[in-house]
Structure 1
């Protein structure tokens, strides 16, 4: 086997987990993500059942993304100013305490929503620090495989969180689900505290002690003025806006298809379940040189399958329509594997010293459009059949994703003899 062919072989899961610090990074992320989606579904269904409003249910789902919109880049900049381990541990433990307060029986709905908003404030610094630290800990193709693995686990966590949340909300008690969430955040924070090495704050490469706002502007300027980065985040934002909008109307979709909430957990779990399969196939078994070439077909699959899912109830009846919608949402989730090579391309294009800020900008935009998509879908479902909303999202999404796709292809770097790792080396 030639040297080039050997380098084009994907790394293995064994080699990724052989890095000691990746294990707590990975395991704590699993715990926190399961709890996050469990709590999110519990509150969304609770609000929908109390009010009967798809818009208010979607608003509840979208609230968890609001901190990224109003303060995400600012909070994420902490990952480039403070030790990243400290940022992650404090974020997890603070969220554990806040979720425990949410579990108090009889808490008024406005107070629950306020606490959810405060819990969500912990996400920007945590995610920026975790993403940047993972790129520091893992080199070469292990970062790409770890990215796919983390994405797969995130989708599995959504499946578990949504299904478990659906059971707890309908059969047990939302308070119990919130206590489980608090426990997962606490365990995640303790695991990070024990398992990660202490590292000082990142070297700022001669930058002076600028304010947080100046740090935010640095990250924003880098992303928006670098054609390659702009194409990457543009596709990320538009793609996520389209492919996740249906999550905001899960209860309304279930109502339309089966006349109640029996299907809500399955409907919301179908998309991440498909993403698990796509993530494993693309992230683990595709050669590094092939992954980015798969972005365009995978994006088209992820958006086109949504349009077909929305069309299914128009041509099928009863349980057959419900099964078809679930299956097509899973196909759309499979297509979402395009985010894996996009993440790797982003890391390769960003200097390590500003990685936290750049991730903050990217994730802030992604969270903003997730919340916006949920709200748009909820508003549309107030006067239109929920499956018709899914159909429209898919049809409108196809031309929307075409623009950043063209930009991504135009800025693709020329092929070289060495496969680049996260550092770009």
Structure 2
């Protein structure tokens, strides 16, 4: 089955991502705390080019594009393993690798409808989410051990190898060629943004995702201070973070094997509700064990929300615009993270970490008011309106 090929490619690549990202952060610490922030920023910056990456995915053979992106990242991490460069060169390599990763995302997500029937989209996205969440739950641990036992050079080399293996697996996919007449990369990028901005379903999803992440990602900064305030150690912080990843993994597994055919719109609303509930509960809980449980609940919501969003985008977007729709979704999430990270520090200073969790949870819940219109997009009439909007604003 072609989808299995994509899944195995993603599982191998995601595992390497978890190892490589951890190694990058640990290697950056040898240059100081500022270097860590710069590396994380270099990882994030290319994500703002999501709409352009989406246009590439819509105009190129997606199998070939994905394989090139994997080989490009393999080359980047192989060079890091060989040279262990100084910080300025390291940042340049990280930016380049981030560019390849950004180009891969819309191609990988928009390829799914070509590999599975519409009725199986939810289950397929859940299985891909499970592969990604294994990275969150396991990757940092393996990456840390690799660095401890063999140094950053070994971890970078392992990551490079996973990208090569992933690219080889992708060669077993059928050709995923685009259709239509090309009008130029920039024109197609603008057409994709116009489609998302003027079509109710995609617009609601992108805006709600931006709002959800803008509030929910505050927790990423506040958690370490909350755990410390409760007397927790660095190990306790790591375990509490892992609980969130375990929750995401559990949600993906459940959706993949039990609930994969349920309404994606209903799952979206339920997922956002769980993220909000987990954050609000965390603000009031007095023990680390209870906080970890609440974080697992939030992780389940996040995992559910991710699967539901991908499935809705695939169902309400015309095939030739899927890459650009996913590019807009990825950029919205990145913008939301940027807003959260800028606001988190002052907010924690003003109301404390528990107060920051409360603000984040309430704000995430309010984003439901924007996400609710996505329920309507799961009907036949709204899918027809989306196709009509695409015809009014052709991309090719």
Assess same fold via TM > 0.5: yes
Flag the 1:180–1:24 CA change in 2: closer, same or farther, 3 A. Answer: same
Picking from 335, 344, 352, the partner of 1:377 is 344
Partner SS for 2:235: coil
**Separation in structure 2 between the aligned mates of residue 386 and residue 110 of structure 1, nearest angstrom:** 34
| Contact 2:313-2:325 at 8 Å conserved across structures | no
Query: What is the RMSD of the two structures over their aligned residues, measured on CA atoms?
Result: 3.0
Q: 1:30-88, CA deviations, whole angstroms, 9 ceiling, x for partnerless residues?
A: 111122232223333554675457xx75554343221121x221123111222111101
Picking from 192, 200, 203, the partner of 2:179 is 203
**Separation in structure 1 between the aligned mates of residue 106 and residue 188 of structure 2, nearest angstrom:** 13
Tell me the equivalent position of 2:155. Answer: 177
Deviation at 1:286, TM superposition (A): 2.5
Flag the 1:47–1:309 CA change in 2: closer, same or farther, 3 A. Answer: farther
**Separation in structure 1 between the aligned mates of residue 346 and residue 18 of structure 2, nearest angstrom:** 22
Tell me the equivalent position of 1:354. Answer: 321
**Separation in structure 2 between the aligned mates of residue 378 and residue 44 of structure 1, nearest angstrom:** 21
- Aligned pairs (5 A) from 1:215-230: 215-230=188-203
Tell me the equivalent position of 2:394. Answer: none
Flag the 1:241–1:173 CA change in 2: closer, same or farther, 3 A. Answer: farther
| Contact 1:302-1:331 at 8 Å conserved across structures | yes
Tell me the equivalent position of 1:81. Answer: 59
- Aligned pairs (5 A) from 1:278-357: 278-286=251-259, 288-312=261-285, 316=286, 321-336=287-302, 337-357=304-324
| Contact 1:236-1:339 at 8 Å conserved across structures | no
| Contact 2:222-2:357 at 8 Å conserved across structures | no
| Contact 1:57-1:248 at 8 Å conserved across structures | no
**Separation in structure 2 between the aligned mates of residue 385 and residue 39 of structure 1, nearest angstrom:** 33
What 5-or-longer segments of structure 1 have no aligned partner? 1-18, 417-425
| Contact 2:57-2:323 at 8 Å conserved across structures | yes
- Aligned pairs (5 A) from 1:64-103: 64-69=43-48, 71-103=49-81
| Contact 1:155-1:272 at 8 Å conserved across structures | yes
Tell me the equivalent position of 1:40. Answer: 21
Partner SS for 1:262: helix
Q: Tell me the TM-score normalized by structure 2.
A: 0.84
**Separation in structure 2 between the aligned mates of residue 258 and residue 47 of structure 1, nearest angstrom:** 28
Deviation at 1:187, TM superposition (A): 1.1
**1:160 aligns to 2:166 (yes or no):** no
Deviation at 1:275, TM superposition (A): 1.3
Flag the 1:287–1:37 CA change in 2: closer, same or farther, 3 A. Answer: closer
**Separation in structure 1 between the aligned mates of residue 373 and residue 240 of structure 2, nearest angstrom:** 33
Deviation at 1:154, TM superposition (A): 0.8
Matched residues, number: 381
Larger fraction in helix: 2
Q: Tell me the TM-score normalized by structure 1.
A: 0.79
Tell me the equivalent position of 2:3. Answer: 22
**Separation in structure 1 between the aligned mates of residue 190 and residue 237 of structure 2, nearest angstrom:** 40
| Contact 1:62-1:370 at 8 Å conserved across structures | no
**Separation in structure 1 between the aligned mates of residue 221 and residue 87 of structure 2, nearest angstrom:** 18
Picking from 219, 226, 242, the partner of 1:269 is 242
| Contact 2:38-2:91 at 8 Å conserved across structures | no
**Separation in structure 2 between the aligned mates of residue 31 and residue 304 of structure 1, nearest angstrom:** 33
